[in-house]
Amino acid sequence: MYTNIEGEASAVPASRRGARSTDGAIDVEFQGWLGDDLLDLVDRWIVSARLADALRASDLTGYHLAPVQFTKHPDWALMKHEFELPERWERLVPTGERRDGDDFATEPATGLMASGRALELLRSFRLEQAELSAVTAPVHGSDAEAAAAEAERLARVRALDAENQKAATIERAERQRAADEHAARREARIAEALVRHRVAHGEPVEPTGDLDVIRAGIGKPLEDERVAAVLALASLPLEIEVTRETKRERLETHASPDEGFEARFKNGRLERVVLFPRGRRGAPYPRSRDLIHGFDFSAATPWDVVEALGEPGYSKWGARGTLEYVIGRDTLHLGFLRDLVDAIVVLRKKQRRV
């Protein structure tokens, strides 16, 4: 009985030397080491000095050993290592055949295979990271039989891949159709909401509420009482984080993550206020009903917004959605996720040009 061995993968080929060779020397770079004596480099294997010496002293068949030159990753000294890396490694090159009863073998689409007695020797060393599995593929009487079996296996794999690709294509088409239908329903509901808004209001609506407090503070210095009124919309004190600082620019955020509130400053002046009516890092903004009198942003859909505020100056829909309204010198930017308001941004910025 043979066992397939997938060894620890903490080293990689470090140069082209040996990259195409089936039995030659190889250059290796260690990116770490977890202590195993057998390492797997995908289609090549290396063993520690003590395991190499044990193999030489044994009567195991179906392999030979080749030199290994190794280096350590440039960040090796910065890492913590539980084990001291051996000073010598050698390449284990399997050359045997299962049909000949050799102790080490490899076949197409398989890794390193070891006989029962080879595995017994290997297990007397450290193989904590290795994955072992029984080899179940039949033994072929000749190379021609093995090649035919491999060709049959590859044909099955290709057929399965083609079937999976066909299924994936159908699934993508169904998802796109569902997304298109959802987008059409959204546009229809927004159009209906706009009609209701025009019937109810006729003229564009000038929203009032906490939005007036925020707009009054936009562009003002931190020490201004109008900015203090904006910051008082959340519980004080706020967390202050400097996000960028150069000779010409200083960006900082005054935030209450537990209340979905952020006030962002540029060079000491309030640049924008960001509110999260459904929460993002913490609880939702608690004053979602006060931002605009008579409107609740905590569960607002795009058509709810359009019915209340009218036609937006800018809109865009994709994985996320956007509606923007210009109010005086300011922009009210509404971000949507799954057709619910996810973020509210008030800033001194001109409307986008479509």
* Residue 139 DSSP code: P
User: Has residue 349 got a pLDDT over 90?
Assistant: no
CA 44, distance to chain mean position in Å, is: 30
β strands within 238-284, DSSP E:
239-245, 250-256, 261-266, 269-275
Residues 6+ apart with CB under 8 A from 268: 221, 222, 250
Whole-number percent of the chain with pLDDT over 70: 95
Same domain, 111 and 157: no
| Per-residue pLDDT tens digits for 279-294 | 876 789 999 999 999 8
Domain count, the chain: 3
- The answer for 149, left when phi > 0, alpha when psi is -120 to 50, beta otherwise, is alpha
**Residue 147 sits in the same domain as residue 105:** no
Do residue 114 and residue 166 come from a single domain?
no
Q: What is the span of the domain harbouring residue 188?
A: 140-202
Report the distance separating Cα 237 and Cα 308, nearest Å. 34
pLDDT of 350 strictly over 70: no
At residue 120, the pLDDT reads: 97
Start-end of H helices in 105-255: 116-123, 143-201, 210-217, 225-231
My answer on whether 197 and 222 are in the same domain is: no
> Looking at the structure, do residues 282 and 328 belong to the same domain, yes or no?
yes
Pair (197, 92) in one structural domain? no
- pLDDT for res 21: 56
In a domain, 352, yes or no: no
Does the pLDDT value for residue 336 go beyond 90? yes
Phi, psi torsion values for 350, nearest 5 degrees = -70, 155
Q: Please, which pLDDT band fits residue 157 given cuts at 50, 70 and 90? A: confident
Task: Give CA–CA dist 166/160, Å, rounded.
Answer: 10
Give the pairing type, strands 250-256 and 239-245. antiparallel
Whether residue 153 sits in one domain with residue 230? no
Same domain, 35 and 129: yes
The answer as to whether 353 is a domain residue is no
Same domain, yes or no: 264 and 305: yes
CA angle 336, 339, 341 (to 5 degrees): 40
Q: How large is the average pLDDT for residues 120-127?
A: 96
The length of the chain in residues reads 354
Q: Could you tell me if 221 and 307 lie in one domain?
A: yes
27 occurs within a structural domain:
yes
H-helix segments, 202-313: 210-217, 225-231, 302-309
Report CA 279 to chain centroid distance, whole Å: 22
- Residue 18 confidence class, pLDDT cut points 50, 70, 90: very low
Q: Is residue 354 part of a domain?
A: no
The last residue of a domain, from among 103, 137, 171: 137
When pLDDT is cut at 50, 70 and 90, the band that residue 354 belongs to is very low
Closest-CA residue to 207 (of 299, 293, 322): 293
Q: Are residues 327 and 261 in the same domain?
A: yes
Average pLDDT over residues 52-66: 96
Contact criterion met (CB below 8 Å) for 15 and 27: yes
pLDDT per position as a tens digit, 240-257: 999 999 989 999 999 998
How far is 197 from 206, CA to CA, in rounded Å? 13
Q: What is the pLDDT of residue 86?
A: 95
pLDDT at 22: 58
Q: Are residues 220 and 276 in the same domain?
A: yes
End residue of a domain, out of 120, 137, 154: 137
Q: Which of 88, 121, 137 is the endpoint of a domain?
A: 137
